[in-house]
Each structure stands twice: as structure tokens, then as C-alpha cells.
């Protein structure tokens, strides 16, 4: 008897309808968030390195033994120093082809894996176990730790993570699903709010940057850090001042681009994104061409203003051995130049995002970016 072949579309729909033949479901939102927060761990999950099997199997058994009790699952999901060392050692033996560019930090893959695992621990502790975030006024879960609503949200997140157990995008370890589910349950997907950032929001400027002759300009870009309002205004008065100074300096022709850095931070819950509002003001109020403006809408602090601007300079193909120019109000400018700011960078980032150089005026400082700024660190899951 001749067999009749089913059309591919019908066969696929049939497979989805049969319980035993259902394909695993990939949550595209979780996948994007995981790649943004944990680029090296995501790559390891895809590579399925044999030399990491023992530590991963032991962790799965430990988490499974909790039988979905939330506090037990979260504590079991934490990575010990020994486990971090084992996974980092396994990563060191992986072929170069296993890694995408975001995972390739200047201090090596093992260091990047360690950073990501310690950041993952921080997410479980803050969003699952009630530890205090670094900045309680603007970061952390929706509900107060220990409250009934906090406990319910954690339980829901643990259930969400279990439901996504077959998601191939988070295959390495159950702790990745736990971390992403906790952020999702709290609506804290800030780290991917503007993705894909450059193709969608900076395309015209980056297209121009890739053909520009950088030698024609004194500075690669004018950097305008955020100085958020503490009220419902789109821009603070000092933010408006920064925009005006940037427009005036841009008219001098010494830099081909203005990079605006600032997220939706102050006041907590604001709908205004500072980089977006500064861009609107530059274009609408001062006539700066849109193809000369780049937004960096993720930075939540002055430290990450400079770190994230460096990332945009790299995306633009700008030379890192050439100065850019920071333009901001006198208070913030003086702070950026201070030993206090250097110490804060070392404490919060672990490095200086670049070298603050010559002061040209009370509101202008030169800045030479550092490749260290390309290190992804989910210790701040809202802006890694």
C-alpha cells in the first residue's frame, strides 16, 4: 500500500497537538533577557560542554530535591565559590567558536563566567530571598521584602521557572530560569527595554559613523550624562542646561556626534527616559540633525553613563585612543573629576570606565574610554 506524505505544515501542527510529541517552547522575551544578562552562560548552554556535566548534574539534583518549595529552590539555586570555579574552569577549555562577541571580555572568559554567576546569585538574593538591592530607592522588587505580595510573587516566579524547564534558550542550569523568571514576575525587564538598540534607535547615526573620517574631528563625540528630575518633568532644569550646552558646542564642529546617556530612573516609576527626552530637545528645540545624535537609554548612574557611552563608541567604530568630551553642569562635572567618583567606580564596577583628562571649562572634561567597559555584569540586572 502506498504511503501518503502529510504536508509539512499539517505535520507540525499535529505534533504540537499531541502531548507526547510537543516541541519545547522558547520564550523570546526570556531568551533576549538571558542573552543580555548572561552572554557567556547562554553560550555555554548552547555549547553543552561535557566537562561541566558533573557540577551541573549535582546542582540539578539539589534543586529537584526541593520539590518546588520556593525558599529551598532559591537557596539551592545559589552558586557556591567552588561551583563558580568549576564552571569557569570548564569554560576556559571551550573552543573559541563557542563564544559570541558579547561574552568576550577583556579579562577573559573565565572571569566573565564568574561575573555572571555572582550577578545571578545577586538576582536570586534580592528578588527571591529579600536581600537589599544596592540602590533601594530605585532598584529591587515591586513589593517590600517579607510582605505577603512579595512571597506570592516569588512563588509565582518559581512556578514560571519550572514551567519553562524545557526552554532551550536557558538550558545550562535551572538558576538561569529562576533569575529571569524573578525579573519577569516583577516587571523588571529594563535591560532589554530598547533592544535592538542600535538598529532600531541609532541606525542613522551608526550608518554615518561607519563611513566617517575620525581624523577630521578633535573629539569622537560629545557625551551628555543624565541628571534626572525628581518630579514628573521629562527633563530636569540641569538636564535642559546640558542639552543647550551640547547644542552650542556641537555647532563648533569639533565632534561629529552627541551621545545622550540616561534611563528612566528618577523619580522611581517615571515614564520618561532621559536619553530619549534629551534627544527630542536637541532635535526639536535646537535643530541638531537626527543622524548626529545617539541615545544610550540604560544608564542609571553617573558611573554607568560613562561605561555605557564607551559601549556605544565601540558600536560606532570610534577609536578608543581618541578623546571624547563630557559636557554637563558644574556640579556633576566636578563630581566626575573627583577622587570620590574614581573610588565609586572601583567599588561598583571594579574598574575605571575610562580616563578623565583635561578640564577645558567648568562644564567640560575630556574623556578617554577604556575597553574594560565592555564587561557585562548582571550584578545590576537592570543595566548589566
Beta bridge partners, 225, equal 261
> Of 190, 207, 226, which residue is a domain's last?
190
Residue 11 is predicted with a pLDDT of: 36
Residue 149 is predicted with a pLDDT of: 97
Residues 177 and 250 in one domain: no
Task: Supply the CATH number for residue 197's domain.
Answer: 3.40.50.620
Query: With contact defined as beta carbons under 8 Å apart, do 307 and 225 qualify?
Result: no
Residue 3 is predicted with a pLDDT of: 40
Residues 53 and 200 in one domain: no
SS3 state at 27: coil
In order of 209, 221, 224, 307, 375, the CA distances from 317 in angstroms are 7, 12, 19, 16, 17
Look at residue 123 and tell me if it is in a domain: yes
> Of 168, 190, 212, which residue is a domain's last?
190
Please report, in tens digits, the pLDDT of each residue of the chain (384 residues total).
Answer: 444 443 434 333 433 443 455 678 899 999 999 999 999 999 998 887 788 999 999 999 999 999 999 999 999 999 999 999 999 999 999 988 899 988 899 999 999 999 999 999 999 999 999 999 988 988 999 999 999 999 999 999 999 999 999 998 899 999 999 999 999 999 999 999 999 999 999 999 999 999 999 999 999 999 999 998 877 888 999 999 999 999 999 999 999 999 999 999 877 778 899 999 999 999 999 999 999 999 999 999 999 999 999 999 999 999 999 999 999 999 999 999 999 999 999 999 999 999 999 999 999 999 999 999 999 999 999 999
Residue 118's CB is within 10 A of a number of other CB atoms, namely: 15
Residues 168 and 237 in one domain: no
CA distance 209 to 270: 32
Look at residue 170 and tell me if it is in a domain: yes
Which residue has cell 534629551?
A: 278
Look at residue 269 and tell me if it is in a domain: yes
DSSP state for residue 172 in the 8-state scheme:
S
Cell of 14: 499535529
CA distance 271 to 263: 10
Query: With contact defined as beta carbons under 8 Å apart, do 223 and 357 qualify?
Result: no
Residues 222 and 332 in one domain: yes
Look at residue 299 and tell me if it is in a domain: yes
Beta bridge partners, 224, equal 260
Look at residue 16 and tell me if it is in a domain: no
Residues 167 and 270 in one domain: no
Residue 228 is predicted with a pLDDT of: 82
Residue 21 is predicted with a pLDDT of: 53
For the chain, how many structural domains are there in total? 2
Residue 23 is predicted with a pLDDT of: 73
Residues 230 and 150 in one domain: no
> Of 190, 221, 240, which residue is a domain's last?
190
Residues 69 and 150 in one domain: yes
Residue 67's CB is within 10 A of a number of other CB atoms, namely: 8
Residues 160 and 213 in one domain: no
Residues 80 and 140 in one domain: yes
Residue 22 is predicted with a pLDDT of: 64
Look at residue 117 and tell me if it is in a domain: yes
- pTM, whole model, 2 decimals? 0.91
Look at residue 246 and tell me if it is in a domain: yes
Q: Cα torsion at 66, 71, 74, 78 (round to 10°)?
A: -100
CA distance 356 to 332: 13
Query: With contact defined as beta carbons under 8 Å apart, do 75 and 131 qualify?
Result: no
Work out the angle at residue 345's Cα, subtended by the Cα atoms of residues 340 and 351, and round it to the nearest 5 degrees: 135
Residues 178 and 221 in one domain: no
Instruction: Note down the domain range covering 283.
Output: 193-374
Look at residue 90 and tell me if it is in a domain: yes
Residues 240 and 352 in one domain: yes
Residues 185 and 215 in one domain: no
Amino acid at each position: 500500500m502506498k504511503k501518503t506524505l502529510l504536508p509539512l505544515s499539517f505535520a507540525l501542527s499535529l505534533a504540537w497537538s499531541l502531548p507526547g510529541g510537543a516541541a519545547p517552547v522558547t520564550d523570546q522575551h526570556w531568551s533576549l533577557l538571558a542573552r543580555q544578562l548572561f552572554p557567556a552562560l547562554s553560550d555555554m548552554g548552547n555549547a553543552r560542554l561535557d566537562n561541566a556535566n558533573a557540577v551541573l548534574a549535582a546542582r540539578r539534583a539539589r534543586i529537584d530535591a526541593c520539590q518546588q518549595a520556593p525558599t529551598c529552590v532559591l537557596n539551592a539555586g545559589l552558586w557556591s565559590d567552588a561551583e563558580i570555579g568549576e564552571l569557569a574552569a570548564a569554560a576556559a577549555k571551550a573552543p573559541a567558536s563557542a563564544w559570541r562577541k558579547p561574552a568576550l571580555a577583556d579579562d577573559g572568559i573565565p572571569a566573565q563566567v564568574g561575573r555572571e554567576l555572582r550577578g545571578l546569585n545577586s538576582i536570586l538574593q534580592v528578588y527571591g530571598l529579600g536581600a537589599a538591592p544596592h540602590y533601594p530607592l530605585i532598584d529591587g522588587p515591586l513589593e517590600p521584602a517579607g510582605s505577603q505580595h512579595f512571597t506570592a510573587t516569588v512563588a509565582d516566579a518559581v512556578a514560571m521557572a519550572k514551567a519553562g524547564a524545557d526552554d532551550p534558550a536557558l538550558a545550562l542550569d535551572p538558576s538561569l530560569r529562576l533569575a529571569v523568571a524573578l525579573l519577569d514576575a516583577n516587571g523588571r525587564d529594563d535591560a532589554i527595554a530598547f533592544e535592538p538598540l542600535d538598529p532600531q534607535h541609532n541606525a542613522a547615526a551608526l550608518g554615518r559613523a561607519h563611513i566617517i573620517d575620525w581624523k577630521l574631528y578633535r573629539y569622537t563625540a560629545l557625551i551628555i550624562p543624565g541628571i534626572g528630575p525628581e518630579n514628573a518633568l521629562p527633563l530636569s532644569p540641569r538636564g535642559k542646561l546640558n542639552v543647550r550646552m551640547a547644542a552650542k558646542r556641537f555647532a563648533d564642529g569639533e565632534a561629529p556626534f552627541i551621545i545622550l546617556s540616561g534611563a528612566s530612573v528618577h523619580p522611581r516609576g517615571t515614564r520618561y527616559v532621559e536619553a530619549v527626552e534629551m534627544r527630542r530637545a536637541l532635535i526639536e528645540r535646537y535643530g541638531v540633525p537626527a543622524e548626529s545624535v545617539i541615545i544610550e537609554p540604560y544608564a542609571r548612574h553617573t558611573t554607568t553613563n560613562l561605561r555605557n557611552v564607551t559601549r556605544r563608541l565601540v558600536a560606532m567604530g570610534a577609536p578608543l585612543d581618541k578623546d571624547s568630551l563630557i559636557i554637563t553642569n558644574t556640579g556633576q562635572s566636578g563630581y566626575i573629576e573627583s577622587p570620590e567618583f574614581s573610588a565609586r567606580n572601583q567599588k561598583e564596577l571594579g574598574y575605571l570606565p575610562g580616563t578623565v583628562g583635561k578640564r577645558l571649562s567648568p562644564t567640560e572634561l575630556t574623556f578617554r574610554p577604556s575597553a574594560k567597559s565592555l564587561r557585562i555584569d548582571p550584578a545590576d540586572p537592570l543595566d548589566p
